[in-house]
Chain A
Amino acid sequence: MCAAQAAADNSSVNSARAGRLKVFLGMAAGVGKTYRMLREGGAERDAGRDVVIGYMEPHDRPQTSALAEGLEALPRRKATYRGTQLEEMDLPALLARAPELALIDELAHTNAPGLEHRKRYEDVADVLAAGIDVFSTVNVQHLESLKDQVTELTGAYVRETFPDAVLAEADEVVLVDLTPEELIERLRAGKVYPGERIEAALANFFTVENLLALREVALRQVAAEVEAKRLVVEEPLGTREERIAAEVPQAVGERLLALVRPQPSSQRLVRRAWRSAQRLGAPLDLLWVKPPRLAIEGEVGCQVTALRHLASVLGASFLIEEGEDVVAGAARVVRERSITYIMVGESLPRRGVGRLREPLPQRLMHGTPPGVDVRIVAHRGAKEESG
């Protein structure tokens, strides 16, 4: 089953599910996700709920194993794959046991071939659909959308992933956080991996730089989840048709548009726009409104290639709209892509009849849908001269 199909299936199951999903999210192995899940599971049992461990990875961590001792654990199912015996969660047994709450570790895990589902999050969807609440754990690096980012940050390729929709539709996401220094201390003390794996882990994945980067990714992810849930609650009144008719962009988050021209000075505008987009956690589009008769060749062609290349490096989209009127072209893109923020370069000093024309930022303010901010990025040369 392809990932998209799995995501779609999972999404449909989630929408019909009766159980509640709580996910303990961490930046890396060893931060204490399983420990926290077991502790909260234990508290639920003490409060009188029927709690069962569906599957747990003790990772040879004595403290974690000690916490699990007081909880009922379902026997694991044996599966043989290429001559190796693997232990997996017994989904049919869990559904038959039907507890009120199931603790299921490692949401992104890939099951052995031949079981009901390929991935554990699909097992979890079945458990939720049966009306059983689930506590589960996962590391942020396994999120499908973050896989490439994490690989770039750490150099480690992430094989096991799960769709973002699973986390987005979880009822609760709890970030289990630890500073990189504390985690490395735990690693050195043998609380994460057995002795023979410690040095290799410290030399490769568990560096302060990697952990700082992963921690930032995890914190941002949880912040985004919180914001998304808050914004759904605060959805504005009126039907979607009415909002579209009013031309008010109802984007959940910000989306930036930088108006560029094929010249080197536009690169500064792009850099500024990208940094703003990074701070806002927003996508960035670059737009050049190309005069109809201008051919993309020679110096113009070189600069268009350079802008396209820069957009690719930054993960931005580079758009070319043909038209005489920059404002009309920009307004069209603003509406189509729900832009909330436009950045333009400072206009060159106007001469002759050009003085009579309204400046571009003002025209943009009037020509684009209401609620779209316009920011002018000062031209470095002009600033130096005046300053």
Chain B
Amino acid sequence: MSPALIAGLAALAVAAAGAALLVRPLRRRRAERPQPVHHILLPFTGTEISRRAVDAAVRLARAEHATLMPAYLATVSKQLPLDCAIPTEAAKAMPMLEAIEQRATAQGVPVDARVERGRSYRHALRRLLGKEDFDRVVVPATAMGGIGLSGDDLIWLLERAPAEVLILRPAPSDEGRLPATLG
């Protein structure tokens, strides 16, 4: 083996060792970096949502390095196919999802939104639970009678959701509801 070849091989070995030293910390750093595998579901209805619930979901997601999954539940009239386009409901959902995403992103929380259709809010929720994987559910209990998820719906959710369910009841001071037009 010629001295030149030996020198070349030695140089290669040194370069490889150096690269390995550089790559290991990178890999370690990647391994240490939390992966966004967790999802926190935030189902809601209507044209406003409790700011408290959104903030709680965002705080949880941030602490757990989770992805926030706000999900608008839309009802479809029985006269229409369940999988039909719902522009009127979408017109309510889109600004709400935009507002929630804006609030979450400002806190560095990734968002993966959904819109689910059903004949009732509970039906939409059931369809959502059947499709998506998530680790927690944060759900605002509405203070307004007749709008949003009812008490029965929440009990149903507690019994059926394959995850921890956090029901936030509105505090007396919780006047701030997140409207579609978030400043």
Contacts and interface: CB of A to CB of B under 8 A. Distances in A.
B67 A264 contact: yes
A310 interface: yes
B98 A152 contact: no
A313 B67 contact: no
A310 B112 contact: no
Nearest to B110: A264
Interface stretch (B41-49, B79-87, B136-144, B161-169): B79-87
Contact of B80 (A152, A264, A312, A384): A152
A102 to B, nearest CB: 34
Contact of A271 (B77, B88, B97, B112): B97
Contacts of A313: 74, 85-86, 89-90, 93, 115, 117
B94 A312 contact: no
Measured as residues with beta carbon below 8 angstroms from the partner, the interface class of chain A is: 20 to 34
Interface in B76-130: 76-77, 79-80, 83-91, 93-94, 97-98, 101-102, 105-106, 110-115, 117
Contacts, number: 67
A316 to B, nearest CB: 8
Given A151-B80, A313-B86, A306 B112 contact: yes
Given A268-B98, A271-B97, A313-B115, A152 B86 contact: yes
Contacts of B79: 151, 155, 157
A384 B105 contact: yes
A314 B87 contact: yes
A152 B77 contact: yes
A274 B67 CA distance: 24
Interface string A312-328: 11110000000000000
Interface in A254-272: 264, 267-268, 271
A152 B88 contact: yes
A278 interface: yes
A213 B88 CA distance: 9
A149 interface: yes
Contact of B105 (A155, A213, A278, A381): A381
A153 B67 CA distance: 33
A275 interface: yes
Nearest to A271: B94
A157 B89 CA distance: 17
B88 A153 contact: yes
A49 to B, nearest CB: 43
Contact of B98 (A213, A271, A312, A315): A271
Contacts of B84: 148, 152
Contacts of B90: 274, 313-314
A278 B112 contact: no
Contact of B89 (A148, A152, A271): A152
B102 A380 contact: yes
A309 B88 CA distance: 16
A306 B105 contact: no
Contacts of A274: 90, 94
Contacts of A306: 112, 114
Interface in B39-63: none
B111 A314 contact: no
A15 to B, nearest CB: 32
Contact of A310 (B77, B80, B83, B115): B115
Interface in A130-169: 148-149, 151-153, 155, 157
Contacts of B102: 380
Given A152-B84, A312-B85, 14 more contacts: A152-B76, A152-B80, A264-B111, A275-B94, A278-B87, A306-B112, A309-B115, A313-B85, A313-B89, A313-B93, A313-B115, A314-B85, A380-B101, A380-B102
Which 4 pairs between the two chains have the least Cβ-Cβ distance?
A: A315-B85, A264-B112, A157-B79, A380-B105
Interface of A: 148-149, 151-153, 155, 157, 213, 264, 267-268, 271, 274-275, 278, 306, 309-310, 312-315, 380-381, 384
20 contacts: A148-B85, A152-B76, A152-B87, A155-B77, A213-B88, A264-B67, A264-B111, A264-B113, A267-B97, A267-B112, A267-B113, A268-B101, A271-B97, A275-B94, A310-B114, A313-B90, A314-B85, A314-B87, A380-B101, A380-B102
Interface of B: 67, 74, 76-77, 79-80, 83-91, 93-94, 97-98, 101-102, 105-106, 110-115, 117
